Amino acid sequence: MVFEDDSVLVVNKPPGWNTHAPAPYAGEGIYDWLRHREPRWASLAILHRLDKETSGLMVFGKTPTANRSLTAQFTARTVLKQYELVTDRPVALDSFTVETHIVRDGSRYAAVAGSPVGEPAETRFRVLRREGDRTWLEASPLTGRTHQIRVHAASRGLPILGDVLYGGTPSGRLHLHARRLAFEHPVSGTVVEFDSAPDPAPAAALLRGACVDPDETDAFRLCHGAADGHPGVYADRLGDWLLVQAESEDAAREWLAQERGGGRTPGSIGNSATSWHPVRGIYFKRLDRHVRASTPAQACPIHLEGETAPASVHVRENGLQFELSFTEGYSVGLFLDQRDNRRRCLTQHVGAGFPLFESGTTGHQLLNCFAYTCGFSVAAAAGGVKTTSLDLSRKYLDWGRRNFALNGLDPANHDFIFGDVFDWLRRLAKKGRKFDAVLLDPPTFSRSKEHGDFRAESDYGELVTAALRVLLPGGVLLASTNAARMEPERFLSVVSTAVTSERRRVAPQFYAPQSPDFPVNREEPAHLKTAWFRVD
């Protein structure tokens, strides 16, 4: 965040984050993420856009008055927009203007001179400095066409560094930054101007620096496979520790070497306003689809470098503390991709216009099925909710009690039930127990003596039906799965069919993509499907 008042919000968008979601079930754009994050941002309006790979200043309107004023200013081209770019091609002139029409050309755009086809576009360029074979230029677009600066720079033989789509030299990111933004304030009428120098850190690091508050959170996904340019490698910052997941130890060490080769300390993020201390130790976990056949000792992460972690380590997430362990099997105790959903339980704010509870913030009860180490329960309890945590493992429920205690929450004031979820949902329904919210985040596969095998792909509807029988009218159901073969459309259809079969209806519904530190692209599709439903 750069500036906020009652009328506008100005942010510094990192590279690698869309302005808005490109598709219904893709990752959230920065606009979507902001709008659903805080109630005061629920009415944010998009007034202009930046390409996904472009970084820099953006302004959002917060009121109808601000929206009308800024829209008129953008339309009249009175808003000052200045970009800074880098090219590694020789720049002969110190200043020049490119004026063409821009037309769509497959997945790209093209500059067409002397033709009425396409949209007219004009950009002014000015050299800022030259260093070796690189030149920094200021670009001032007088119009606002898609890819305008990129197309115009390439049309003069000066493709931007990192812009391979338009012939630029490959780099870790697109070196195009919206540096200056000035407009007439919609209420005061005075001109307000903002300046943000580009940060040279890699795009992946800047993305984490933008969406992770180090005062509240030190556990997050640092590298997410192909979405961050490293197929098959996933790295998590876990407090003082780094966990690298890959199909082989060699692949993990290669990623670490690349990080160091770029002059970076493994485990760091890049944001000039954010600093992270070096990790104390690094662990490796082999990605294994057959992990259920391994013993906990065989499945544990392997120590690679630095200090050996103690039996339990503590991390922060959304201001809460959680206990993790590298010695308890394949999972360390917290699924980081659910961080934003746990925050929704903590703040009792699901999304724009969707409070978790419609009637106040106290006196509510929440049932957390497949509770694992009770991360959702701790977040809800910290928000003042009475929780019931249900899981098939006593060990994990005891772990959950320790997480409660870590946060000054008395486990005795909450319920912990050991047993099969289906069995206990039947028991609770028979006893007439009802909850204001029920959370379902089951493993893709599980087995119990009471119910037998559970497979999310085939049995999720049965699970939802059982959960609805303990959900109060107007209550909220969280349904989530990372089952690879369940596409979002099918997943939502399964849940909706189960609701309808119980003669109930959903109003409203909110689909929550995975957190921004788990970015999504074609090479790394979304794995997590999560939806919140208010069920009448």
Residue 198 to residue 213: CA distance in whole angstroms: 20
* CA 447/CA 362 separation, integer angstroms: 36
Please give the distance of CA 90 from its chain centroid, rounded to a whole number: 38
Q: Residue 273 burial (CB < 10 Å; 0-12/13-18/19+)?
A: exposed
Q: Kindly list the strands in the beta sheet with 506-511, ordered across the sheet, starting from the edge strand earlier in the chain.
A: 415-418, 386-391, 365-369, 435-440, 471-481, 529-535, 506-511
List Cβ neighbours of 160 (8 Å cut-off, separation of 6 or more): 85, 86, 87, 149, 150, 153, 154, 166, 168, 174, 175, 176
Report the alpha-carbon distance of residue 356 to residue 513 in Å, rounded: 17
- Given the structure tokens 């000792």, which residue do they identify? 297
Bridge partners (DSSP) of residue 101 are 112, 120
Helix or strand holding residue 405 (H, E): helix 394-406
- Of 458, 480, 455, 452, the closest CA to residue 467 belongs to 480
Q: Are 280 and 241 in contact (CB under 8 A)?
A: yes
**Which residues, including other chains, have CB under 8 Å from residue 129's CB and lie 6 or more apart?**
135, 136
Pick the closest to residue 86 from 20, 24, 136 (CA basis): 136
Which of 32, 51, 420, 517 is catalytic? The answer is: 51
Q: What is the dihedral of CA 424, 429, 433, 437, to 10 degrees?
A: 80
Asked if residue 479 lies in contact with residue 525, where contact means CB atoms within 8 angstroms, the answer is no
- Helix axis angle, 375-382 to 339-347, nearest 10°: 30
Of 108, 114, 19, whose CA–CA distance to 60 is shortest?
A: 19
DSSP-assigned states of every residue in 492-511: HHHHHHHHHHTT--EEEEEE
The CA angle 95-53-155, to the nearest 5 degrees, is: 35
The verdict on whether 51 is a catalytic residue reads yes
Task: Give the integer Cα–Cα distance in Å for 373 and 399.
Answer: 5
Angle between helices 394-406 and 375-382 (to 10 degrees): 30
Positions annotated as catalytic residues are 51
